[in-house]
Every structure is written in structure tokens, then in C-alpha cells.
Chains A and B, each alone.
Chain A
Amino acid sequence: MLIPAFQLHLTDAIQQRAVTVGKYDGVHPALTAATTGGKVFIHSPHQEQDQPQTQYLNINKQITALTAGALEPALGRDLLLVGTPNHLQAYDVHKNQDFFFKEVAEGVNVVILGIAGTCEAPLAIVGCNGSVQGFDAKGQERFWTVTGSNVSALALCDADGDGQNELLVGSEDFSIRIFKGENVISEIIETDRVIGLTPIHHTRFGYALANGTIGVYEQSVRAWRVKSKHSVGAISSYDLDGDGIPELISGWSNGRMEVRSDATGEVIYKDILPCSISGIVRGDYRCDGTDQIIVCSTEGEVRGYLPADPEVSGRQVEETAHQVAIAELSQRRQELLVELQNYDAQIKAAAGQQERGPGLPLELGGQIPAITKVAVAVRVSEEARSCSLHVQTNSEECVIRGVVIFADQVFEGESLFHYPNSPAPTADIPLKLKKDVAVMLLVKVLVALRTSAVYHVFEEELQLSRYAMYASSVRGFVSEPESYVTFATSERVSRLAMWLEHSFPDWSASAAGVGPSSDSLRAAFVSLRDGKPLIIAMTARAGGQVTIRTDSMELAADLVQEIAAYLAIEQLDCQADFPPELAAFALVLDRVDELNAARLKMTGAVADSSNVIKSMLVKAEDARILGNMPSMKKLYGRLMDLNRELVMEHEKRATNHHDLLEALRLVNTMIQRAARLRVGEPKARVVAACRQAVKANNVQALLKIIREGHA
């Protein structure tokens, strides 16, 4: 148990993940957090006697992100950065004035402050719906890139060990992308929405997911992870045990705060707050020269923890560790003894068996024949339109009583339990995979004799290919989609065939008649989700021209990235056309214009109505003071009508804003997909060119870039 160094009860609620500490006067730290009603409170315990400890800032908008730091180093004090659904605001708390106020139409989901890569000055890095933007102290855009999905977490960490910070971007499409400048140098696919990222030290960083997983990556390799059924409120890192290496600190919805070893994930300390944790920050809140870790809960409870004295804590830890070790070793010893006994008993049973002769029935209280084996395989069938796991025992008497499959990402939960109503020696378990990912299926098959209540557990591991939900169309005949992407490689056809065999369980080179010297290939598939066709073809022309035909641009982009990675292609440009998707995209662009125009009009209308209300309120109050009751009643009646109108207007604006956000997200997603049809330099070029075209509002150019890679 960790003892807090200090504990505060603030009267204000603290919004999830919107807490920071800033030295707004350059010296004294102040805890700053978003609270109810679009307000920010600043709690500064080191104020002069006559000053209130807490002051409030009225943002009057929903606050989506908050951070503080020295954005302008020349200033010598911290600025407060506040993100709202359509603005980023930098605020100078000391002078009580705005530093800059920048419109961010895509909405600010998360904001951090720091120096990324080779930049010299710190940037305010903002994660939006589909993009990441960086602003300097003047509010100028210095950085822009797309991320495919809504950004939900950001961190700066030297993830590749080159001495410079890379930008880690976690998003709602379950991925953590590592950006070096505007290029993605590494992409990690996780199992749920990424809701927290934190640098730990050197190349290590921690992450948190919406499904209650936290873990640590070393470069792009996962060191450990743990999953809890509670949700993560916040993560951070700090060296609390005094061993010189920071630990991963996590706060949970049930109020639990845990300190875990960065290397192993072992819990070193824990504490429990009375309600769920909304933020963890660090700062020298006591002004005594050492940082504390400050844990805040949603109800305003704040606890600060000091790093432990290594001497004292070490001994305590050691003593409890001894007890734990003894208990654990005893347990292990007991298990080994039991195992030994089992072997003994079985060898005896076997001896007995031999004496009685082989002709006698084998059953001994549910024992199944020794030669019992269980085979598991994935079966993809075009006729049945299904992908299923086929499980079979090699004996008629041994039936399957249940199958449990554990796998990440592809099921609703983390597992699938199949319970056959009438047990049989075979079972077909339909797999309705949610995503196209290559996963390891951990299959546990419960096998028993028909009458027995003892179940033998057979465990099998099975690698599921990424495109298991695509059935090879045997006749090779599917209607050819008009959308395509085509690119040149300098590879032989047989290499692509190898990749196809690796990625599509239902396709084999021999069945398709592709040999080592074939100079063309055509593989046709049907999606088992929606029945849509997919064709991958290659000809030896121009050194190896690959064409992918599918109506889904996303699928095409995934395939291009996969092929490029498999064939180790570093630069890849392409020609593409996706008429239905691009037509839909053109409509989206029109819609963005429309929504923007409507928004401006409505903002004007609101200003008008609020002026009317103000004047009418004065008149009504005058009437009341003069005792003119009928007139007052009338005026207040009209005020009420106006109010109702305003509420309606507000609803319209909210819908408009929501639609606009969605449309902008679609635009960014499209840019991301267009980029992902390419690899290396062409990819970065497409992102930059698209941004230019969007800024210039040049729709034709934008579509051309998407198709051809340049304007």
C-alpha cells in the first residue's frame, strides 16, 4: 500500500483526462482541470494569503483537452492550452488574456505540448478527427498529417532510440502509429481503441486501451500487457520506488491506482481512491524541490505521492516479497507433488491394464482411449458462404462437449464458447470475424466419452491468416469490379503467389495452376461478409504489374501495404480509380461547403437573437419595477418564446456541427486511404498535395491526386 504525501478535497468535479499542472507565474505550480459546465478551475495553493486558492476560467464550451507548458520559452512562464470541439485556445493565465485562438474545424480530441523530432521550438500538437496538427507559439500551423481515424491519444517518446522524440499517435481504429516528421515509421495494431499513451523512459512507452488493457512497448515490441475488466482513467509514468527507472502508473474507473514495473508489469504499489480516477499528472505541488505524482478523481479528490526512500521501501518490499515467495514456492511444490502422483497412478493403471489384457474395455471412470487426438482446421467455403473452425476427434466414442476459442480482436469479446446441444465427434464452429487481422487462435476442446462427466482438455494453437473471410472463387468467375489500383513491381509472379498463400487460407498456388515460372496470375475471391468480389491479378509485363480490383478502397489500401511489406518494396506509386467511392467523396466535399455556409449564417442569427433578448429583458424588468404587470407578463411571454427558438437554433447548430465533423473526418480518411495506396516518398507526397488542394478548395485537383498521385 502506498501512503499519499498529501491529500486534498476540491469541491469541483474533474473531467476525465483533462487535468494538468502549470507554472503560470513561472514559479508556483497550479493544478488545472476541466470541470462541469465548460469551466476550467485552477487550484494554486501557493497564492498570497488574501487571494482565493481556486480561480475559474469560463470557456463556455465543452472542453475536450487540456494541457499546460512553456509553448513560448521566451515568456518564462507556462501557457494553458484548452481544446474544444472546434477551437484550440492558448491562454496566458498570469496576464489573464488569450495568447492565441485558433479554429480547428476537425475538433480537438487531445493536445500535448513538446518538441518533436528535429523541430527547434515546442509545438502544441493537437489530435483531431482524422488528423494531427502542430501549432507554434503564434498559432501558425507547422505540422499536419492524416491518421485514418479519430486521434484519441498522443505522446512524445524516442521510440526508435535515435535521441530524438517521435510522435506517438493512438487512434480509434485500434492502432498506434509512430511518426517521424510526417512519415509513419511504425504502426502497431492493438485490440481496442487507444485511450492513453505515455513515455516511460528511453524507448519505452506505456499505452491504455478502452477495453481495460494497459501495457508497455519497447520500441515496437510489446514488453507486457494486462487486462482488467475495469476501464482505465489515466496513465502516466514516474519513478515511485526510487530505483532510478520510472514505473507505469495507472488509474482506474473503480478508483484503484496501480504502480507497475515497466519491465515486467508486476504491481509494486497500489492505492484505492473513493471514486473513479480522471487524471494523473506530475509536478512539484509542494514546492519542495521534488516532483510528486498527483492522482485526481472525478469527484475532486486529489492525492499526491512521493517517491519512496529506496532503503526503507526496499526492506518492506523484501519482507512481503519473502512471504509471497514462500507461499508461491509452497504452492508450486504441491503442484509438482500432485503431478508426480498422477504419473505414478497412471503408470500403475497402465500396468493393471496390461495385466487384464488388451481385449477389455478401456473405460475407467471416464478415461478416454490413449490414442485420442483432436484435429482443428479453418475451413472456408464459397458455397456455404462461411468461414468455420472444424474440430474433429479420431474416435466415434469421444465426443466434443464444448470448444472455447480465445483470440484478440476478431470476436465480440475476447473469446467464443461453442456448446453443441447434441455432442458429436465433429463440430463446425462458424467464425464471424470482425476484422481482417492475422491472429493466433487458442483453441481448447473439451472431449469426453458420451456418458462421462470428466472432460479432457485438448489445447491447440492455430494461426489464422489475415484474409480468412475471403473465399476463393473456385470457378474464378466473379463480376469484375470497376474500381482498381495498379502498380509496377520488379518481382516474379511466384513471389506474389507465395504471399497469397500466406494471407488467404482458401487459396493455393497449385489449385490455381500457378507454377514457379508462370508469367501471369489471377486470383478471384468473394468476401464472406457482404459477398463482394475481390480480384488480385499480376502480369509479367513491365517487370511485374499488380492489379487489385475491389470496390473497397480501404481493403485495397490494406492489400497494397501488405504486399509492399511482404515483397520489401520501399517506394511504390500507383494508378487508382474508385469511381463509386470517389463520387461519394465528391458529395462529401460539397456537403462540407454547404455545412460551412450554414454555420456562418446561423452564428449571425444567434447574435441577433441574443441582442433582442437582452433589450427585451431590460424592458420587462422596467415594466416590473413600474408595476405594469400586464406589459411585464406579455414581455416575459415573448421572452419565453424567444428562448424556445434559441434552444431550437442551438439544436440545429449542434447537428450542423456534428455533421460537419463527420464530413471532415471522411475527408481525412479519404486522404489517408489515398496515401496508403502508396508507399514511401509517394505516400508523403500525396498527403502534402491533398492538404494543399483542400486548403485551396480545389476539388478536381484533389480527385486527380487521389487517382494519380500528383496534381
Chain B
Amino acid sequence: MELQLELIRNDILQTAPAAPGTLKVLPQGHNKQQKVALGDSQGVVQCCSIKKGEVVAAFKALPTGQPVGAVTLGKGQNQRDKIFIASEHTIRGLSKKGKEFFRFQAHLVDAIRTLHVADASMWVTGEFVMHQFLNNKEVQFYQAPDRINAVEVVPVKEDLLLAVLGCQDRTLRVLHNSQVAHQVQVEGAVTSLKYILDSHDPGQINIGRREVLYGTDGGILGQLFLDSEGFRRGWTVPNPNRRGAIQAIYSGIDFTKDGINDIVVGRDDGWLEIWGMDDAAQPKLVFSSCLPESIISLDGGFFTSPNVQDVVVQTFSGKVIAFAEPGAGLGSPLKRTKKEEAPQDRIRALRAELAELHARVDKERKHFAQISASLAPSIASVTLQSKFVLDPEEACYVLTLESGTPIASVALQSSVLLDLQDSASNSAILSVTPSNPDEGSATLATYRCPESATRVEMRMRVVEGQHGSIQAFVIPQRAPKLAQAVTQRIRPLCLHQRVEALAGTPPMNELRVSGSFSMAEIHTWVLFCLPEVPQRPASPEEATLYFRSSLLGTQLACQYKAGEAIFRGDNVSSLAVLREALMGEAASQKARISVSFCLEAASVGHVVGLLWPRFAEQRSAARRGLLLTALQELKMQDENVDYLTPEYKAILADADKSRQAGAGNKADPLRLEYLSGVFKDLYLDWQRFNGLVAPLHRIPQLAAVLHDPQSTQLEVVAFMLQQR
């Protein structure tokens, strides 16, 4: 039975834009209703609760100007209601009344991004490093090869708390004595981690192991079990609807009343999802709702009422929203009469406050205008978050910008020719300026946002081989009128993704690069060419990385050390792009390199074979699409169409079926063209690598072979391997 929850949304309050992990629900005290502690980018720390339908502050500090990077509660027995705040390099401990009882300066290179406290131990991380302090002395230090996105502290054994790092290079690492004790590769860059106290393990298979849930930038939710031996995999939840990266996970409320806490997931495209457990202990979706901005923190408890628990959501722009079941929360039947007045009261109060603020702002504005003759607008802390990820199925990159204040428009400039696509998930209006390559811009466009939008998503289709940068200028809607720019790179092999290892043993071509380069140099070149390469090589001597083309499924292995690099790939086109880019980079750094190949004729057949099923399907779908209208007309005319061949009848039946399913299953001509383009490139690159002049004149013949509905895979391969 499909179980669907119904949850009511309550908007609680709004702070300045906030960083992930800066909201926590305090444990229950004397009162059953719980408080929420939160911080924001202005440095404001506050703690509040709901009383009689109104938000009441327990304490609220003044803005310090130092953004709050993390808010956490103590894990030790006597510190569970103590609030620990990290802002920049400072860690402070506050009582639930807001009294500061602890202050510590951690000497990190960059600002603190995560903080965990258990008794006298503190774990803090910056962008790449983790420190552990015991009684304010450093006892552990680790530098990760790639960015650290999420941290959990897990009691792996009695009295042994270990830090688990979720890193950008798709790896979870467990640290013990400044060393990686265990690590595991997952499906994507780890963007969130959650240690689950009450394990989702009804079968009791994993007794004694600790459950950790992780979320990836590709939107996959996964379960792992950890003990002193290492990791063990549980279930994973795929992301068929291609929703956003998982930014926050929470599991502490049993909405479905089946005895197991449900899992709440918050994504960066605003989706809030609740997963219950089905009979086979597999997660199933019981609730989802989409907010207009990204979710950055989740927690839960008896927040809006003492009767029913809420999920408390914090969003990027600093909105705090509670979700609770109906008939409870602010709208519990007991308080029905109250509730009907409550929103009006709140609105009235807010209006009054706004009027007062308006008056103050007007006054300040005038005051400011008097002295501003000698003053330019200053740099306000406008927070901007950007994400640039590959959507493998569409072969397009998605640039998402989210600002703390409403965006008026975004101006996009790129040295690469981009095919800008309309995006279903935002309503910004795209308008492309005819480009002017003389000025160094192959793409110029603007996105105009509707009123009060804080998120813009831009989809752009790219081809491999060209590379360059993309700049997006974000123009705000309201004062202060300061635009910020976000720069992203399109890499030559931008449609490749990192994989753990090669699948199978495909026939491989080899590209060997040698010269007098250092390990650091070759690493930066590889970093320049391919996505998802860590900033620093994992080992200083030699590195091996594997990639898979997300669109074509072809593979690439890179093995390099000082003086020599070997690239092996089944698709010569990838190697051709790589060669071009490496030579260009080396030349720009005045390094001398030499390149040699070792070709494998079987690889052409292999690559064509990989693509052929999709190509043939697209080709026949295009043909069916052309025939369909005529067939439908015949069917209307004659009612009885038994005289048609089985093929034609099947086309008609399929059309009816897809219509009933409500999906327009039409062939995308662009995709067919794209695949033909891949074949053409493969042919040209193969011939070129064989030392022949690129046989451009034969391309029309190849196109004819490809478009002939009768042609087979073998014919195409034979054509490609012909040497003339």
C-alpha cells in the first residue's frame, strides 16, 4: 500500500543567509517543548522556542560580522544541552541561556566548516584539513587529498570515538591517530553524513556495527555499517528523478508509526523527502515537498507543540521552516480557536515591526545620503553559493547559483560555445546575445529572474574537446547593488567521470607522454584536462586514475609519474582530445614533451558496439515518428487497419501506449545527430592517429551509411577501418 504522509508547513523565522549545519534542536528540558539554536552569516547566534503560537527568543546575540560556520551540541553526558559555535577560527560554548562558558582559538588555515564536541574532545575541519583537540591541545591532524564536505563522529567501539570524513573525491575516510584507518568509495562526492543511533536494521544482521548514512552530490542516499574492522554496505537509494545533491540527513522521528525512525533528506534544489521503511527493510518515499531554495540543515523534535514532533528545516537564505503532521503542531485541535487568530496576529506583529523598520531605514537612508557624497557603496557580505555539476544523461552541465538576497538577473559569458538549454526547474527567462568571437566571448546571455527568486539554474550542453571558462555575474534585485562573479571551468574531457576501476578488459589504445616534467606538473596538466581530479595527488610518486565517459560509457585510465604518463582508452577520440590539451598546456609552460601511441584496431569495433544499440534505437524511433502521423490518419480513415504489416501495427500500438502513460516518447533528433557526430569524430581521429590526412571528403559517405536504416554495426566499423 502506498503510504503518503501529509505534513503542514509552518514558517518560523528568517535569519541572514546561513551555512550548512548551523541549526540544532536542543534536547528536552523541564518543558516538553524543545528549543532551536541557530547561527547565520552575520554572526548572529540565537536560541528560540514556540510559545502560544509565537516565536520567543531564549537568547539572541548581536551580529559580530563573523559568519557562523557550525553549530553543534555536546555529545558528552553532561553537555548535551550545551551549544558549541564555530565562527571563523573561534569556538565558543554557550549554555542554553546564552551564557558563554568556553572559548578557544583554533589555528586553522581557513575558517572552520564543521565542529564536533564530545566531553573534552573537539574535532574541527577546514576545507582540506581536520584537527582534533583534547583539552585544547592538538592530538590529531589529517590533510585530505580533496575537499572535506561532511564529518561525523562515530563511537566505533565503547570509549572510542572516531571521525568519519566525507570527501569530494567520492571517499569516506575513518581516521584514527592521524591515519586513515578505513576508507570506502561511494557513488559520488559525499555531501552529507549522518550517524544513526537507532539503526535501520530490523533484521539485526549488523548488531554491534554503527549505522552511517551518506548523501552524494548526485543525489544518492546510501547506508553503511561501521565497526572496528571497517565498512559494510547496506542499501542505496538511487535518484531516478535526478533531484539535487543531498545536503542534510535527519532520522529521529517515526512519522509512519512502524517503530523505525524515518529518514528525512534535504536537497540543494529544495526538495525535502521523507523515506519510511517497507517490509523488506528497504527505504520507500512517503513524503516529498519542494521549497524554493536549497535546504542546508535538518533537525527535529517537539518544536511547535508538545504533542507532535516537527522536522525543522533551515534553508540557504536563512529561513527556518517546521513540518509537522496536521491536527497537531501549531494547528492542534486543542488550540484550534487560537490557531485561527495566530497567523493574523503574527502578520499584524510583523507588519508593525516592518513599519518601524521602514521608518528606521528611511531615516538612515536620509542620514546616509547626506554623508554619502564622500562615500561609495561598500562591500556587503552578499552570500552566494554556486554549484557546477554534470548531468550525464543529457550531456550537459548545470550551473546553479543561489544568493541570500533576490537575484534580478544573471549575465553569463563564456569563451566556449555553449548550447544553452531551457531548464524545467526555474522560470528565469533566457535571452542570448549574438556572440562576438573577436571580443573573446563565444557565448553571451542573460537570465532574467522573476520577482524574489534566489535560485537560478542554467543548463548548458557542451562537447568534449573545447575548453575554457564560464563567468556568471549575479546582479541583485535590491540594494546594495553589488554584483558578484562566479567562474567555472569547462575541461577538455568534461563529460568524463571518475570511477574506482575499469570495468572489464576492453581493447585499449595507448597514449604515452614522456619528458622532463615533475610529478606536480603532470598532475596539474591532468587536473586541467579531466574533472574530479583531486587538488593534490594522493601519493607524491605515482598516481593512477580511472574515468568513464558518462555519455558513451567508454573508459580511460591515467597512470602518471615524474617524467612519464600513460593514458589508455578504448575511444581514440578521448585520447585525441587529451593529446591536444596536454600538448597545449605543456607548451604554455614551456615544457618539452614527446607523445607516442600504440593503437588497437579492435577498439573501434568495441566503441561502435557500445554506442550501436542506442544509435539504432534512436534511428528507428526517428523513423517511427515520421511514419506515425500517416499511420494514425489511415487508422482514423479506415477504423479497421488489419491490413497493415505487423511493424506498422506495432508502431500504432506503441503510440497509444505511450500516450496512455502520458509521456511523449519521441525521438530527440538532437541526440541522433549527437551520436552520429561521435561516430564521425571517431572515424576522423582513428584515421588521423594512423598517420593519414583526415579524410573529410568521406564524411558525407559515412553520414549516408549511418542514416541508411538498413546499415549494420559491422558495415559502419568496416567503413571506419578502411584505409584510403
Check A331 against B452 for contact (C-beta < 8 Å).
Answer: yes
> B473 — which chain A residues lie within 8 A by C-beta?
401-402, 446, 455
Check if B109 is an interface residue, CB within 8 A of chain A.
no
Binary per-residue interface labels of chain A (209-220) against chain B in the complex, 1 for a CB within 8 Å, 0 otherwise: 000000000000
Check A334 against B14 for contact (C-beta < 8 Å).
Answer: yes
Check A343 against B364 for contact (C-beta < 8 Å).
Answer: yes
Which positions 1-53 of chain B face chain A at CB distance < 8 Å? 9-11, 13-16, 42
Check if B662 is an interface residue, CB within 8 A of chain A.
yes
| Given A337-B357, A415-B433, A421-B441, 12 additional A-B pairs, CB 8 A | A39-B636, A322-B343, A323-B343, A334-B14, A340-B357, A340-B364, A345-B380, A346-B378, A417-B411, A454-B484, A455-B484, A457-B476
CA distance A36 to B63 in the complex (A): 66
Check B376 against A368 for contact (C-beta < 8 Å).
Answer: yes
Check B354 against A336 for contact (C-beta < 8 Å).
Answer: yes
Check A415 against B633 for contact (C-beta < 8 Å).
Answer: no
CA distance A322 to B357 in the complex (A): 21
Binary per-residue interface labels of chain A (299-336) against chain B in the complex, 1 for a CB within 8 Å, 0 otherwise: 11000000000000000000100110111111111111
Q: Which one of B159-167, B394-402, B443-451, B526-534 contacts A?
A: B443-451
CA distance A227 to B448 in the complex (A): 10
Check B439 against A414 for contact (C-beta < 8 Å).
Answer: no
CA distance A458 to B379 in the complex (A): 15
Q: Which one of B229-237, B266-274, B295-303, B367-375 contacts A?
A: B367-375
Check B448 against A406 for contact (C-beta < 8 Å).
Answer: yes
Check A404 against B409 for contact (C-beta < 8 Å).
Answer: yes
* Contacting residue for A330 out of B13, B427, B452, CB 8 A: B13
> B411 — which chain A residues lie within 8 A by C-beta?
402, 404, 417, 419, 446
B35: min CB distance to chain A, Å: 19
Check B347 against A336 for contact (C-beta < 8 Å).
Answer: no
CA distance A161 to B484 in the complex (A): 50
Check B42 against A341 for contact (C-beta < 8 Å).
Answer: yes
Question: When A36-B632, A330-B350, A455-B484 are in contact, do A341 and B63 touch as well, CB less than 8 Å?
Answer: yes
- Interface residue ranges, A against B (CB under 8 Å): 9, 12-13, 35-37, 39, 56, 227-229, 254, 274-275, 299-300, 319, 322-323, 325-347, 349-350, 353, 362, 364-370, 372, 401-402, 404, 406, 411-421, 444, 446, 453-459
> B629 — which chain A residues lie within 8 A by C-beta?
36
Check A455 against B483 for contact (C-beta < 8 Å).
Answer: yes
* Contacting residue for A419 out of B368, B413, B424, CB 8 A: B413
Which 5 A/B pairs are nearest by Cβ-Cβ distance?
A: A413-B431, A274-B662, A37-B633, A330-B14, A322-B343
Q: Which residue on chain B has the smallest CB distance to residue A39?
A: B636
> B350 — which chain A residues lie within 8 A by C-beta?
326, 329-330, 333
A147: min CB distance to chain B, Å: 29
Question: When A299-B659, A333-B350, A365-B379 are in contact, do A229 and B357 touch as well, CB less than 8 Å?
Answer: no
CA distance A13 to B633 in the complex (A): 11
> B452 — which chain A residues lie within 8 A by C-beta?
328, 331
CA distance A341 to B412 in the complex (A): 30
CA distance A362 to B376 in the complex (A): 10
Check B357 against A336 for contact (C-beta < 8 Å).
Answer: yes
B164: min CB distance to chain A, Å: 35
- Interface residue ranges, B against A (CB under 8 Å): 9-11, 13-16, 42, 63, 65, 317-319, 343-344, 346-347, 350-351, 353-354, 357-358, 360-361, 364-365, 367-368, 371-380, 405, 409, 411-413, 422, 424, 427-434, 439-441, 444-446, 448, 452, 473, 475-476, 478-485, 629, 632-633, 636-637, 659-660, 662-664
Most A CB atoms within 10 A — which of B9, B365, B431? Answer: B431
> B364 — which chain A residues lie within 8 A by C-beta?
339-340, 343-344
Check B357 against A333 for contact (C-beta < 8 Å).
Answer: yes
CA distance A364 to B379 in the complex (A): 8
Check A342 against B378 for contact (C-beta < 8 Å).
Answer: yes
Check A455 against B485 for contact (C-beta < 8 Å).
Answer: yes
Check A329 against B354 for contact (C-beta < 8 Å).
Answer: yes
B428: min CB distance to chain A, Å: 8
Check A346 against B368 for contact (C-beta < 8 Å).
Answer: yes
Q: Which residue on chain A has the smallest CB distance to residue B663?
A: A274
> A334 — which chain B residues lie within 8 A by C-beta?
14-16, 317-318
B6: min CB distance to chain A, Å: 14
> A329 — which chain B residues lie within 8 A by C-beta?
347, 350-351, 354
> A254 — which chain B residues lie within 8 A by C-beta?
424
> B9 — which chain A residues lie within 8 A by C-beta?
323
CA distance A39 to B42 in the complex (A): 66
Question: When A36-B629, A334-B16 are in contact, do A229 and B429 touch as well, CB less than 8 Å?
Answer: yes
CA distance A254 to B422 in the complex (A): 12
Check B664 against A416 for contact (C-beta < 8 Å).
Answer: no
> B433 — which chain A residues lie within 8 A by C-beta?
411-413, 415-418
Most B CB atoms within 10 A — which of A275, A326, A332? Answer: A326
Question: When A340-B357, A341-B63, A349-B378 are in contact, do A323 and B11 touch as well, CB less than 8 Å?
Answer: yes
Check B444 against A412 for contact (C-beta < 8 Å).
Answer: no
B488: min CB distance to chain A, Å: 14
CA distance A353 to B376 in the complex (A): 12
CA distance A329 to B633 in the complex (A): 56
Check B380 against A338 for contact (C-beta < 8 Å).
Answer: yes
A/B interface sample: 29 pairs, CB < 8 A: A36-B632, A229-B429, A322-B344, A323-B10, A326-B347, A328-B452, A330-B14, A331-B317, A336-B354, A336-B358, A341-B63, A341-B380, A342-B479, A343-B365, A344-B364, A350-B371, A367-B376, A367-B378, A402-B473, A404-B411, A404-B475, A413-B430, A417-B411, A417-B412, A418-B444, A454-B483, A455-B484, A456-B376, A456-B481
> A345 — which chain B residues lie within 8 A by C-beta?
65, 378, 380
Q: Which residue on chain B has the smallest CB distance to residue A345?
A: B378
B586: min CB distance to chain A, Å: 26
CA distance A418 to B441 in the complex (A): 10
Check B376 against A370 for contact (C-beta < 8 Å).
Answer: yes
Check B347 against A325 for contact (C-beta < 8 Å).
Answer: yes
Q: Which residue on chain A has the smallest CB distance to residue B637?
A: A37
Check B361 against A370 for contact (C-beta < 8 Å).
Answer: no
CA distance A60 to B680 in the complex (A): 44
Check B373 against A457 for contact (C-beta < 8 Å).
Answer: no
Check B11 against A335 for contact (C-beta < 8 Å).
Answer: no
Check B636 against A37 for contact (C-beta < 8 Å).
Answer: yes
A397: min CB distance to chain B, Å: 12
Q: Which residue on chain B has the smallest CB distance to residue A333?
A: B354
CA distance A17 to B633 in the complex (A): 20
Check A413 against B376 for contact (C-beta < 8 Å).
Answer: no
CA distance A113 to B448 in the complex (A): 39
Check B373 against A415 for contact (C-beta < 8 Å).
Answer: no
Q: Which residue on chain B has the smallest CB distance to residue A457?
A: B481
Check A326 against B371 for contact (C-beta < 8 Å).
Answer: no
Check B445 against A417 for contact (C-beta < 8 Å).
Answer: yes
B446: min CB distance to chain A, Å: 4
> B483 — which chain A residues lie within 8 A by C-beta?
446, 454-457
> B11 — which chain A residues lie within 8 A by C-beta?
323, 326-327, 330
> B318 — which chain A residues lie within 8 A by C-beta?
334
CA distance A227 to B32 in the complex (A): 50
CA distance A353 to B378 in the complex (A): 12
> A332 — which chain B residues lie within 8 A by C-beta?
354
Check A56 against B14 for contact (C-beta < 8 Å).
Answer: no
CA distance A347 to B364 in the complex (A): 10
Question: When A330-B14, A338-B405, A455-B485 are in contact, do A343 and B368 touch as well, CB less than 8 Å?
Answer: yes
Question: When A330-B14, A340-B357, A343-B364 are in contact, do A228 and B427 touch as well, CB less than 8 Å?
Answer: yes
A399: min CB distance to chain B, Å: 14
Check B374 against A36 for contact (C-beta < 8 Å).
Answer: no
Check A419 against B444 for contact (C-beta < 8 Å).
Answer: yes
CA distance A56 to B629 in the complex (A): 18
Check A229 against B343 for contact (C-beta < 8 Å).
Answer: no
> A365 — which chain B residues lie within 8 A by C-beta?
379
Check A420 against B354 for contact (C-beta < 8 Å).
Answer: no
Check B368 against A415 for contact (C-beta < 8 Å).
Answer: no
Most A CB atoms within 10 A — which of B360, B364, B424, B440? Answer: B364
Question: When A412-B433, A456-B482 are in contact, do A327 and B319 touch as well, CB less than 8 Å?
Answer: yes
> B439 — which chain A residues lie within 8 A by C-beta?
419-421
